[in-house]
Amino acid sequence: MRPQMKYADRRGAPAVIMVGTDELEQGVVTIKDLKEGARQAAAIESNQEYRKARPGQFQAPRAEMIARIREILEADQ
């Protein structure tokens, strides 16, 4: 998944949506706000802390996915 995330970041995508088996079972999606994540990551010093914090990443119910992406897009303007 890392290459796809880097590709999205290079293309200037504001966010990515991840849906795996766990998300499908729980009825959620994982959303990563790439710009907010980069901003938060700048303050994190260790890889261990970064993995624990998962900056800019959150889960949302599938029914709220579009609304949450719109929030990210509006904040990006």
Does residue 71 surpass a pLDDT of 90?
Answer: yes
DSSP 13: -
22, 34, 46, 49 from 42: Cα distances, Å: 29, 12, 11, 12
Q: Report the CATH number that the domain containing residue 44 is assigned in CATH.
A: 3.40.50.800
**Which domain range does residue 12 map to?**
2-76
59: β partners = 30
Considering its fold, how many domains does the chain have in total?
A: 1
Do 38 and 56 form a contact (C-beta atoms < 8 A)? yes
Question: Average of pLDDT values for 53-77?
Answer: 92
In this prediction, residue 32 carries a pLDDT of: 94
In this prediction, residue 77 carries a pLDDT of: 75
In this prediction, residue 17 carries a pLDDT of: 96
Tens digits of per-residue pLDDT, 25-56? 999 999 999 988 888 888 888 878 777 878 88
Chain-centroid distance of CA 45 in Å reads 20
